[in-house]
Structure 1
Amino acid sequence: MKLLLNILVLFVCLQSAVAAEKWQNFSVPFSIRDVAATEDGVWLATDGGVRYKSSTDDVVYTPANGLEASTFYGIVNTARGVFAVSEYGLIARMSDDFTRWTVLNRSFPAGNVRVVPGLVEFSGDNLVIAFESKIAFVDLKTVTSILSIERVGDIALGVYGPEKMEIRGDSLFVSTSRGSFVRRMDWDHLKDDMHLVDPETWTRVNPSELGSRDSLHVVVHGKTLKDSVLYSDGKSKVLWQFDVKDQTYLIGHELIARYGNGKLEDLTKYKLFQLSGLYELQAIPEGGVIVASEDGFLATNMGGFWHEPMVAFLGFGNHNEAYAYRMKTMSILPEGKMIYHVWGMGFQLYWSMEHLYNISPFNDNCLDELVESFTVAVGTTVAPDGSGFLAATSANGKYSVDFITPDGELSCATGVGSSSFAGPLAARVDPSNSDWIVYVSNRNSLGAFAEGGLDILRFPPPSRNGGRLMNPELKSIDGLDGSTLIDMAIDEKNEVMWVISSTDIGYMEFDRDSIRKPVSMNGLLGAEYTSIDVDPLGNIWVGTTTQGVYRLDRRKGSLDTLTATHYTMMDGLLNNAVLDLSIDKKYGVIWMAHENGVSSLDRNDLRETRTFMTDSADTEVQVYPVPFRPHEFPHLVIDNISSASRVDIYNRGGALMRSFSGSDVAGGRVEWDALTKEGRLVAPGVYYYVVRTPSKIKKGKFIVIH
């Protein structure tokens, strides 16, 4: 296990440079549910994945590493390897090189019965799992179920479930609220034990025979530790204690500490990702993402790592309202300025995560107040010409639309809506006259399941009215079966806006004032939706409350015939409950928010390539790694090319080695595996590439080294 973290970091970096599709998960690995020791460190089963912690390594494994679940209640280190057991009994084994997990048994999750946290034990080749209503025995050689028992002695486990379980030699102890029991086990021939299902083979024992911990003291090798980090309200927080080499790990549900050489280290804080309770995120136009938590913290990922979270506004957050109302109030301009709404407190403006302005109802301004000194907005968006931000604020009368400049100047179009309550909004420019067309979800209450429709407001741009938002024209249309819209995504290229309610998907073409449902969405199961975005190819991505993410591809460009691709934890998603999603079109990443963390999926075809190889391109064609060593790197990448281009690779003598076009250049990137068109590995030497579009040609050379 030594230097495992360094190996994994290198593995991730190589994969991210060349993979056409790659998952990453970011989670907080707490609460800790179970612990197993190794010769170098400890394995932790947590609500945020499986974590390995040692003096040199700190690695969290999630569905992106093959686990297919993110909440784990059991972990054991056996002669046959490390096995993890999920909240509902999925069993996975760590690979021998410690890079990936393999799920070996999926039979228990179908029963929808939870494992009792920490009650997973093993003896020899047998795994014993205590569920809330049964105890299961599993053969570790085949990772198949031997059987499950639902009674011990005179106790029905479905009524009084297991609370403690312990293996001592050939005896299995089980304790419930109505008594404790023990049974002699033939661990070497468990499958042949014909009486294992007989509850009468269990003997009632005194509960004191099951070990209990000292809840008042933490004692390490005879020394009582009094450090305050180990105690809460006078009681020990330590639930597990392991000696690893010359150090002792002291672990509780929310505690990791290490004692050695007379010193105690508090290792509880997980520095790589620190936010939970996420509900909203927004891709940064220049690449990266910002996430928001219910308790009022913001964190940014730029350049592949997470920055330290910051408090959004004096410790206030959006809390329960954030999810109940499907708030979408974070918007970001290309220059990096951002607006964010804090429930009741107004709007905060930031630049590079530095707070600039506070626009609150406490100040003398035109903001609506739903109640006295209390402003409520469910949505914001970037102004269609990039000159600032738009928000819709609910009111006692009719809602208002507010325009906020990057310098914090506020203009209010007061009472212009059709209802008191407003949901999310979107906006675009009418190319015929530069008017702003602002779409606002109207609703009869603030909830995500409210009745409502869509308001279409046409404003002259504030630049024509002295910087003020005024004189709108209003048209109201029906929503989706009378339900309010909870998210919208404008596809300028195809001149359509996609919308969702909590239960339906629809679209509105720019030249029509009505919302229609697609006729066919093959592969899409009935779901409760939370969020929507559109990628550069016009595909629609939707998040759901329990079913993960769907990508809806337009069949032959049709708006009415869609084909779904389904992504869940089995594919690499951190959690099937997706609270928000947003596409980073700079780097080709879709980001997804969950209550317990963030998922990201890298795909070449999520990148916006319209400016590549044009006069307005901000990045030249790049080739990497150079020199190219096929035995070290799986691909040579030719990047930042037009998606309408053709790429040819020649050897030094001018012979054509490979050609790429069409789907091979999706996302403006070509990946070459050093094979000829006949499938043979090319010889070392100098090679040339030519990238052709109808109007441009880019040429270059590189070296292949074996």
Structure 2
Amino acid sequence: MFAFAADAWHNYSVPFPIRDAVPADEDGVWLATEGGVRYRDSVNDYVFTPANGLEASNFYGIANTPIGVYAVSEYGLIARMNDDFASWKVLNRSFAAGNVRVVPGMVEYADGVLVIAFENKVAFIDLESGRSIISVDHIGDVVLSVYGPEKIEIRGDSLYVSTLVGTLARRMDWKHLADDVRLVDPETWKRVKNVCLHCRDSLKVVVDGVTLKDPLLYSDGKSSVLWQFKEGDKTYLVGREFVATYSKKKQKLTDLTDYIPFKLNGAYVVQAIPEGGVIAASVDGYMSVYTGKFWYDPVMVYLGYPAGAETYNYRLKNLSILPRGFVVAHIWGTGLHLYWSLGQQPFFDALPGVGNCLSEYDENFSVVVGTTVAPDGSGFLAATSAPDRYGIDFLSPDANLSCASEVGSHSIAGPMAARLDSATQDWIVYVSYRTEGDFSAFSSGGLDIVRFPSPSKNGGRLLNPELKTLEGLEGNTLIDMAVDEENEVLWFVTATGIGYVEFDRDTIRKPLSINGMLGAEYTSIDVDPHGNIWVGTAMQGIYRLERRNGSFDTLSATHFTMVDGLLNNMVLDLSIDKKNGAIWAAHENGVTSYHRNDLRRAKTFMTDSADAEIKVYPIPFNPHLQRFLTIDHISEDARVDIYNRGGSLIRSFAGDEVAGGRLEWDGKGKNDRYVTPGVYFYVVRTSSKVKRGKFIIKR
């Protein structure tokens, strides 16, 4: 039968800080980080995340054992690397449900047993079965829920446990630990003195008798090296924020810290590029571009005052992209910054206090929580907060700035969206407002709907605004919005709810039923080409909401979390790339992309306005070497038939099988067996068009 392409998850993480490190078998180190599990040697650099089956991204422990590499997450999820060196299998999830943290770096291995120090206990796991043997909450006279373990270390046949009130040790029969009924007996644990677990020189770094003085290895005059492993001529030196090697032969320190594939320091906002790809921005004022092959090096938006962690509290949505690579961004306090070449080249800065029309919240201080693309694609819109009433600004790609000052109903403006009135070509601008003096996403507020005659009729200026004001859903401010032109509705989220406004009603409503969705704290929203609503949450990952029978009031939810491949269940923003068919999510520790055919905009395929002809690849197709033969840029209402050289029908595809205008065939016929090599023909039929072609299958 037909094999659908597997949904493709990709994670781009920040593999820092490092929580634990162990040497690899021959060369390199394994690192447990808050951005996944990282393998690093002098040449290779891999980061494994939920997209590789880990089901978590924040790891506190790592163990390289004779029977495999094991990783332990922040809350005790245990995973083992598969033999393919590309994926992981979760062995034990039982500890994660307890919501108790692992002590960073305190994971030890002995003879088939993994020992994990939690904040309130020490757990023993049989790695052959993946099951817990026992968890000990008392050692000797120490109650671990009161004085938790700080360090553990296996020395010979003994386990040492250090606590605030002393260190205890016990001889262990590791091979028969499951039968050790006295493991919980306080009398079998002995106090020991003058024992230092995992000790290191806190003042200097010494390798092969040489004291290294490189600043990378020190902070405030003290050593920052937490792990030191000698492998042949090289010694690996690892700290919370760095990885390096020292060669005795060359007497040279090599910095291996940077993770080249993704250098952005997390992301608070993502915005899809109209031509495909995404731009992400971090809280420290940098943005980076991904166009399908790699992430560009981050560039600084402006030497201003990034809002830092407040970007999360304010839910800033202040990055927008036009076709042809024009980008507008805002740094807290510094106005609007216009770029071209997808943000790589600065073009124009509209700064407060330099004689332009930007509203100022304080003297020479401009605040923009939200920007959006103008309804006709002629430029960018921004809402700038002011002491009395916020203003709306229009910035064109040629750096012309027009402002409608004091047009809003309140002082503080939040995120925004815009559309064209199809009848009048007026601009309809939606701006969320927040109560006076409160930029928080949890403030009370509502929605302003501002109508402008198209600036093209007024010399590029915003003139003659008409304002309607709606109270927010349950009185709360809107923190993100998405326009669904096809179904003529604006969807939005508040911190605690989901709502919509139909174009012709100007009334805020809440869906009556969302089947399969629990209450959540919401952060972001977007709508895909089929009218499905995608919602990001602060703790529960992403929900996809599908309308039942076309109704806005009855929705059915599909839930996506780290178990599916999401980098982090804390989703700060999301955006749909309708060109390539992917949803992007921003996280504190990186970015996720989730590729699905039905996220592509395929409405124009096989029409007179199509920008691409039907494409078939790879040719020749070898089903034993390539996963799928793809027939692309076809209409979603098409039927695709595949025939052999003799004219016999091999397979037919329609409906969901051609979602997003792309068919992916695994080379098997109706009998679920691979077809024989040779020449094959395809016919794509719609109600008005027929397209034919041929391809070759070989082995």
Sort the TM-score into its range (normalised by shorter chain).
over 0.9
State the shift of 1:20 in Å: 4.2
- Matching residue's letter, 1:371: D
Task: Report if the CA contact (8 A) 1:543-1:579 is conserved.
Answer: yes
The residue type equivalent to 1:23 in the other structure is W
1:458 CA displacement: 1.0
Measured in 2, the distance between the counterparts of 1:623 and 1:544 equals 38
Query: Are 2:120 and 1:127 aligned?
Result: no
- Equivalent residue for 2:376? 385
Give secondary structure in 1 for the equivalent of 2:281: strand
> Are the aligned partners of 1:542 and 1:550 in contact in 2 as well (CA < 8 Å)?
yes
Q: 1:500 aligns with which of 470, 479, 493?
A: 493
Amino acid at match of 1:109: A
Q: Residue deviations 1:494-518, cap 9 Å, x none? A: 1111111111111111111101111
Output the aligned Cα RMSD: 1.4
What's the CA shift string for 1:441-466, capped at 9, x where partnerless? 12213211111111111110111112
CA distance in 1, matches of 2:267, 2:185: 47
CA distance in 2, matches of 1:685, 1:145: 55
Match in the other structure for 1:298: 287
> Aligned match of 2:257 in 235, 250, 268?
268
Taking the aligned partners of 1:122 and 1:556, their CA distance within structure 2 comes to: 55
Counterpart of 1:104 (choices 79, 84, 91) is: 91
For residues 626 and 272 of structure 1, what CA distance do their matches in structure 2 show? 30
Tell me, in whole angstroms, the C-alpha distance in 2 between the residues paired with 1:167 and 1:458: 71
Q: CA contact under 8 A between 2:305 and 2:333: conserved in structure 1?
A: no
Is 1:664 the counterpart of 2:657 in the alignment? Answer: yes
Q: Determine helix, strand or coil for the equivalent of 1:417.
A: coil
**Helix, strand or coil at the partner of 1:691:** strand
1:324 partnered with 2:317 = no
Q: 1:405, 1:210 → 2: CA distance?
A: 63
Runs of 4+ in 1 over 4 A off after TM superposition: none
Which one of 588, 591, 598 corresponds to residue 581 of structure 2?
588
Q: CA deviation at 1:315?
A: 5.3
One-letter code aligned to 2:82? S
Q: How does 1:603-642 map to 2 (within 5 A)?
A: 603-642=596-635
Task: Give per-residue Cα distances to partners, 1:71-102, cap 9 Å, x unaligned.
Answer: 11111111221110000000000001211100
Match of 2:301 in 1: 312
Alpha-carbon separation, structure 1, partners of 2:216 and 2:332: 34
> Is residue 2:524 matched to residue 1:531?
yes
Structure 1 contact 179–207 (Cα < 8 Å) conserved: no
Shift of the alpha carbon at 1:233?
2.3
C-alpha deviation, 1:403, in angstroms? 1.0
Q: Distance in 2 between matches of 1:541 and 1:368?
A: 33
Q: How does 1:9-408 map to 2 (within 5 A)?
A: 19-37=5-23, 38-260=25-247, 261-262=249-250, 263-314=252-303, 316-352=305-341, 353=343, 354-408=345-399
Q: How far apart, in 2, do the equivalents of 1:470 and 1:484 lie?
A: 26
Shift of 1:209: 4.7
| Aligned partners of 1:295 and 1:315 also within 8 Å | no
Question: C-alpha offsets along residues 620-641 of structure 1, whole Å, 9 cap, x if unaligned?
Answer: 2111111110111121110111
Counterpart position of 1:8? none
Question: Which stretch shows the higher mean deviation, 206-215 or 440-449?
Answer: 206-215
44-53 or 159-168: bigger deviation? 159-168
SS at match of 2:327: strand
Contact preservation (8 Å) 1:478, 1:514: no
Unaligned ranges ≥5, structure 2: none
- Find the aligned partners of 1:612 and 1:283 in 2 and give their Cα distance: 20
Distance in 2 between the 1:674 and 1:697 partners?
22
Q: SS where residue 658 of structure 2 aligns? A: helix
| 1-structure distance, mates of 2:256, 2:42 | 10
Counterpart-to-counterpart distance in 1, 2:194 and 2:486: 70
CA contact 1:20–1:602 (8 Å) conserved in 2: no
Contact persistence 1:301–1:307 (CA under 8 A): yes
Match of 2:533 in 1: 540
SS in structure 2 at match of 1:370: coil
Instruction: Tell me the distance in 2 between the aligned counterparts of 1:681 and 1:181.
Output: 63
Find the residue that maps to 1:605 and give its secondary structure: helix
The answer to whether the Cα contact below 8 Å between 1:64 and 1:573 also exists between their aligned partners in 2 is yes
Is the CA contact (8 Å cut-off) linking 1:688 and 1:700 kept in structure 2?
Answer: yes
Alignment partner of 2:38: what SS?
strand
The CA distance in 2 between the partners of 1:350 and 1:29, in whole Å, is 29
* TM-superposition CA deviations, 1:330-360 (whole Å, max 9, x none): 1111121011111111000011121100001
* CA distance in structure 1 between the partners assigned to 2:434 and 2:386 by the alignment: 12
Aligned to 2:433: 442
The alignment status of 1:569 with 2:562, answered yes or no, reads: yes
Q: Whole-Å Cα distance in 2 between the matches of residues 442 and 316 of structure 1?
A: 23
1:602-622 C-alpha deviation (Å, 9 max, x unpaired): 000000001212222222211
User: Does the alignment pair 1:421 with 2:408?
Assistant: no
| Conserved 8 A contact 1:62-1:69 | yes
Instruction: Give the distance between the partners of 1:207 and 1:669, measured in 2 at CA.
Output: 68
Distance 1:165 1:586 in 2: 52
In the alignment, the residues of structure 2 paired with residue 618 and residue 557 of structure 1 have an alpha-carbon distance, to the nearest angstrom, of 29
* Deviation larger for 51-60 or 520-529: 51-60
Of 21-30 and 220-229, the range deviating more from structure 2: 220-229
Distance in 2 of aligned mates of 1:678 and 1:149: 56
> Does the aligned pair in 1 maintain the 2:429–2:451 contact within 8 Å?
yes
| Contact kept? 1:293, 1:317, Cα under 8 Å | no
Unaligned runs of 5+ in 1: 1-16
Match in the other structure for 2:401: 410
Aligned residues: 690
Aligned equivalents of 2:439, 2:399: Cα separation in 1: 26
- Alpha-carbon separation, structure 1, partners of 2:449 and 2:301: 31
Work out which of the residue numbers 445, 453, 456 in structure 2 matches 1:460.
453
Partner amino acid, structure 1, of 2:564: D
Q: 2:55 aligns to what SS in structure 1?
A: coil
Q: CA deviation at 1:699?
A: 1.5
Of the structure 1 ranges 206-215 and 36-45, higher mean CA displacement relative to structure 2 is found in 206-215
Taking the aligned partners of 2:194 and 2:168, their CA distance within structure 1 comes to 8
The answer to whether residue 418 in structure 2 is matched with residue 432 in structure 1 is no
How big is the shift at 1:277? 4.0
Q: Distance in 2 between matches of 1:398 and 1:525?
A: 36
Residue 276 of structure 1: how far off its partner (Å): 2.4
Contact in 1 for aligned 2:304/2:333 (Cα 8 Å)? no
Partner-residue secondary structure (3-state), 2:323: coil
Task: Output the CA distance in 1 between the equivalents of 2:292 and 2:72.
Answer: 33
SS at match of 2:378: coil
1:131-178 Cα distance to aligned partner (Å, 9 max, x none):
111101111111111111112222221222212211011111111121
Secondary structure, counterpart of 1:298 in structure 2: strand
Moved more, 181-190 or 239-248: 239-248
Contact 2:266–2:591 under 8 Å retained in 1: no
Greater shift in the superposed pair: 678-687 or 573-582: 678-687
Return the offset for 1:321: 2.9
Alignment-mate amino acid for residue 678 of structure 1: N
SS at match of 1:141: coil
Distance in structure 2 (CA, Å) of the matches to 1:239 and 1:357: 46
Cα 1:247–1:333, aligned 2, differ >3 Å: closer, same or farther? Answer: same
Q: Alignment identity in percent?
A: 64
- 1:295/1:654 CA distance change after superposition, 3 Å: same
